[in-house]
Structures are given as structure tokens and as C-alpha cells.
């Protein structure tokens, strides 16, 4: 397992690479070029700068999270062909610098969504929180403004102000897009990019919709094991795989998270993994718990065991963390709590490995 850490890049991420390197067991980062908007070509010079920086800090950079998919592709507009061409150009450029995996998502309009970014836990820590009832009284614009206000000046993935200028227009176009139509558009995208991904040797890893249900009438098509099966069948290739995320899929208690890791690991489709815990507080109400199993509702040991059994070399990152010890910064992406998460996961993995070797 390659324990990794998400890093937004210099000038975008308050955490220096050296601190990441100091986390025990940390081998690499999931990097991104935050300066690019969805649809733009990632230029070689910029990729090289990032790669040199990360490798210079003694960390690997084999995974990019995310090369975002332009909304016109998801909406199936005629402009999509140009954006698919640009996407392929980015993949070709990334491959030249040793990138092996690209994480992306196919969520309409919004990336992950929460109703509170600093929900206070009993011990004074704060964490991301979602309550479906709160969303009912909000418009998409309210949630965007709310998130921008609470995010302390840092843009959240999927909430880039540039994208949101088009919000009303885009919401209107989506009125005519149901699950089946969105899947057709997804297939078109996969047919456009997977051949390039195969050619240049980059495994594509689609991230689940978070939370794992429809929002604001927008269709969401990666919310469960069955959705994953459909996506895998849209284009049959191990390059069309998943970033399996325990917390996103785990937002819905009906999902058997360890079983999903195991099944898609066995099918050769676990191309990256996000591992974090969730605590259910009611029907469609949850907060992000610390990583250890007994602080939330997911069996983290079973998740790590499924990874060990099916794809022990996969790149894994602790996902969001809580704000603890007075830390401030990008909601969901603190240093301390994610470092604790990483060490815990490294410990679980060592335990699974030794148990299996001795058995």
C-alpha cells in the first residue's frame, strides 16, 4: 500500500511538503495543478515543476487528484469534443512525467457537499457535517455562498468561483438530464478518454458522489455497488476504474463498504482509495469521524483487509480530517488529524499483513 496525502500545491495548500514527508509511513502525495480550470490543457512545464517539487521533497507523485471534467461533457453539449481532446492532451502530458493514476469525478455541478464545515464535536474538534433537512430549505446558490463563507478563503474542490458563475444556466440545462442521460454522457466521455489512458498507461479512477444520493434534483450515478457495476460496464477496461472512497459510499448506511472494496479490488478496478470514517447521527445526517473504527460507523480493519487481499500496492490516502489542536486551514484538509489517520491506517495495514503472513 502506498500511503499518500492530498496536496493542493504551493500557494494553494498551507501545508509544506516537508511536514507531509515527516508523517510516519508517508510515501507520496496525490497532487493537482490548482491553477487550471476544468477543461484546460495541463501544460508540460507546469507538470514538471510540480513533479520536481514533490520528488525533491522525497515523496512520490504518481497520482493526480483531480483532473476535473468540464461541465459541458457531463451535460453532453456539442462543445464536449474539444474538452475531451484537451483532457487527452493533459493525460498525454501527465504520462510523460511518470503519472500512473488520475482521479476524477462525474458529479453534476457540485463535488462533495456538506451543510456545515465546522460542526463541533463533543471534544471541541470540528468536522464536516451533512444534514439533509438543512439542504431542503436551501437553493444551490445558498449552499455555494455558505460554503465559500465557511471555508476560510480557500476554495474547496468543486467550488471554484469561476465555475459557479454559470450556476443558474447549468441548473436549467440539468432539468432535462436524468440518470440515463447522464450515464450516456459518461459513456461518451469514457469512449473518448479511455483509449488514450490505455495508450499512455494512466489508470483512470472515478470518485463516488458524496453524499451518495441525488441533490437539488440533480442525478447522481455513482452512489452504490450497483452503480459501480454499471459504470464498469460502460467501458470494459481496467483503465476505467475507481477511486473507492469509504466515506463517500459510507454516507449511505445501506452500502456495505468493505464488500465494495473487496469486489472491485478483485475485479482489478480499485485504481486508488480514500479511507476515512463516518458517524451517522440520523437519517441522512452524518459527521466525519476520526479514522479509527470505534469512533464512527465503518469497519476500517475490514476495509484495509480488503485492500490487502485484493490490491496491496494501491495508493491510499486518509481522507478528510477534523480540526484539532487549534489548527486552522482548509476545511477537511488539516495536517494533524489526517496525519493521525494515516498512521492509524499504516498500523492497520501492518497488522493485517503480519496476521496473514503468520496464518
Binding site for ligand DNO (CB under 6 A): 65-66, 103-105, 111-112, 157-158, 207, 245, 274, 319-320, 332
- Report the Cα–Cα distance between both ends of the chain, in Å, rounded: 20
Q: Which is nearer to ligand DNO, 218 or 352 (CB)?
A: 218
Q: Which is nearer to ligand DNO, 336 or 352 (CB)?
A: 336
What would the grid cell of residue 168 be?
443558474
Distance CA(136)–CA(243), nearest Å, equals: 29
Give the nearest distance from C-beta 47 to ligand DNO in angstroms: 18
Q: Which is nearer to ligand DNO, 279 or 352 (CB)?
A: 279
Give 123-183 as a 3 state SS string.
CCCEEEEEEHHHHHCCCHHHHHHHHHHHCCCCCCCCCCHHHHCCHHHHHHHHCCCCHHHHH
Q: Which is nearer to ligand DNO, 245 or 340 (CB)?
A: 245
What would the grid cell of residue 50 be?
510540480
Give the nearest distance from C-beta 248 to ligand DNO in angstroms: 7
Give the nearest distance from C-beta 128 to ligand DNO in angstroms: 9
Taken in order 14, 19, 24, 30, the sign of the CA dihedral is positive
Q: Which is nearer to ligand DNO, 66 or 277 (CB)?
A: 66
Q: 231-262 as b/e, with b when 16 or more CB fall inside 10 Å?
A: bbebbebebbbbbbbbbbbbbbeebbbbebbb
Q: Which is nearer to ligand DNO, 80 or 320 (CB)?
A: 320
Taken in order 90, 91, 92, 98, the sign of the CA dihedral is positive
SS3 call for 316: strand
Q: Can you list the alpha helix ranges (DSSP code H) found in 201-256?
A: 225-234, 246-250
Provide CB contacts within 8 A for 245, sequence distance 6+. Answer: 207, 208, 210, 273, 274, 276, 319
Active site members = 207, 245, 274, 319-320, 333
Eight-class DSSP state of 212: S
Give the nearest distance from C-beta 245 to ligand DNO in angstroms: 6
Give the nearest distance from C-beta 356 to ligand DNO in angstroms: 29
Of all residues in this chain, which one has the CB nearest to ligand DNO in the complex? 66
Distance CA(104)–CA(101), nearest Å, equals: 10
Q: Can you list the alpha helix ranges (DSSP code H) found in 31-127?
A: 44-56, 71-75, 80-96
Give the nearest distance from C-beta 46 to ligand DNO in angstroms: 19
Amino acid at each position: 500500500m502506498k500511503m499518500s496525502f492530498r496536496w493542493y500545491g504551493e500557494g494553494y495548500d498551507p501545508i509544506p511538503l516537508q511536514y507531509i514527508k515527516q508523517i510516519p509511513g508517508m510515501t507520496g502525495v496525490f497532487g493537482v495543478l490548482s491553477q487550471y480550470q476544468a477543461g484546460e490543457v495541463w501544460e508540460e512545464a507546469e507538470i514538471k515543476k510540480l513533479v520536481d517539487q514533490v520528488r525533491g521533497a522525497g515523496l512520490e507523485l504518481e497520482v493526480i487528484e483531480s483532473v476535473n471534467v468540464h461541465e459541458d461533457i457531463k451535460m453532453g453539449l456539442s462543445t464536449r469534443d474539444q474538452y475531451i481532446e484537451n483532457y487527452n492532451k493533459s493525460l498525454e502530458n501527465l504520462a510523460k512525467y511518470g503519472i500512473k493514476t488520475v482521479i476524477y469525478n462525474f458529479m453534476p455541478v457540485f463535488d462533495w457537499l456538506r451543510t456545515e464545515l465546522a460542526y463541533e464535536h463533543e471534544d471541541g474538534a470540528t468536522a464536516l457535517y451533512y444534514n439533509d433537512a438543512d439542504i431542503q430549505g436551501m437553493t444551490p446558490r445558498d449552499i455555494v455562498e455558505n460554503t465559500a463563507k465557511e471555508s476560510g478563503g480557500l476554495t474547496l474542490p468543486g467550488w471554484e468561483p469561476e465555475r459557479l458563475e454559470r450556476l443558474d444556466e447549468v441548473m436549467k440545462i440539468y432539468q432535462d438530464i436524468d440518470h440515463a442521460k447522464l450515464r450516456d454522457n459518461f459513456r461518451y466521455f469514457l469512449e473518448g478518454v479511455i483509449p488514450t489512458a490505455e495508450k499512455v498507461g494512466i489508470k483512470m479512477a472515478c470518485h463516488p458522489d458524496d453524499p451518495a444520493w441525488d441533490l437539488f434534483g440533480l442525478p447522481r450515478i455513482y452512489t452504490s455497488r450497483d452503480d459501480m457495476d454499471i459504470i464498469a460496464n460502460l467501458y470494459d477496461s481496467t483503465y476505467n476504474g475507481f477511486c473507492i472512497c469509504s466515506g463517500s459510499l459510507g454516507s449511505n448506511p445501506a452500502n456495505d463498504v468493505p464488500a465494495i472494496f473487496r469486489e472491485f479490488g478483485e475485479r482489478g478496478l480499485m485504481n486508488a482509495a480514500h479511507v476515512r470514517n463516518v458517524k451517522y447521527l440520523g437519517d441522512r445526517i452524518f459527521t466525519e469521524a476520526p479514522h479509527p473504527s470505534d469512533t464512527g460507523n465503518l469497519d476500517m480493519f475490514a476495509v484495509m483487509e480488503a485492500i490487502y487481499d485484493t490490491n496491496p500496492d494501491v495508493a491510499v490516502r486518509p481522507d478528510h480530517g477534523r480540526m484539532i489542536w487549534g489548527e486552522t486551514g482548509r476545511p477537511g484538509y488539516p495536517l494533524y488529524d489526517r496525519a493521525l489517520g494515516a498512521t492509524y491506517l499504516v498500523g492497520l495495514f501492518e497488522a493485517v499483513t503480519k496476521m496473514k503472513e503468520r496464518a
